[in-house]
Structure 1
Amino acid sequence: MVVGQRVFLFQLIVVAVLVLNHGNVHGLKLGYYQKTCPNAESIVRKTTYGFISRAPTLAAPLLRLHFHDCFVRGCDGSVLLNSTKSQAERDAVPNLSLRGYHVIDAAKSAVEKACPGVVSCADILALVARDSVSMIHGPSWEVPLGRRDGRISRLSEALANLPSPFFNITQLKQNFAAKGLNVKDLAVLSGGHTIGTSHCVAFGIRLYNFTGRGDTDPSMDPKYVAQLKKKCKPGDTTTLVEMDPGSFKTFDEAYYTLVTERRGLFESDAALLKDAETKAYVYQASVHGSTFAKDFAASMVKMGKVGVLTGNQGEIRKHCAFVN
Structure 2
Amino acid sequence: MKSEDSKPASGFPITRMRRLRYHPAVRSLVRETKLTPSQMILPLFARPGKGLRQPISSMPPHCQLSVDLIAEEAREAAKLGLGGILLFGIPSEKDGCGSDSYSDNGIVQQAIRAAKEAAPDLLVVTDVCFCEYTSHGHCGIVDDHTGRMDVNNDATLEIIAKQVVSHAQAGADMVAPSGMMDGMIGTIRSALDGAGFHHLPIMSYAAKYASSYYGPFREAAESTPQFGDRRAYQMDPAVAAEQALRECELDLAEGADMLMVKPALAYLDIIRAVHEKFPGVPLAAYNVSGEYSMVKAAAEKGWIDERGVALETLTAIARAGAKIIITYWAKDVAKWLA
Common fold, TM-score beyond 0.5?
Answer: no
Bigger fraction of residues in helix = 1
Bigger fraction of residues in strand = 2
TM range (shorter): under 0.3
Q: TM-score, normalised by structure 1?
A: 0.24
**Which of structures 1 and 2 has the larger relative contact order (alpha carbons within 8 angstroms, sep 6+)?**
1
Q: TM-score, normalised by structure 2?
A: 0.24
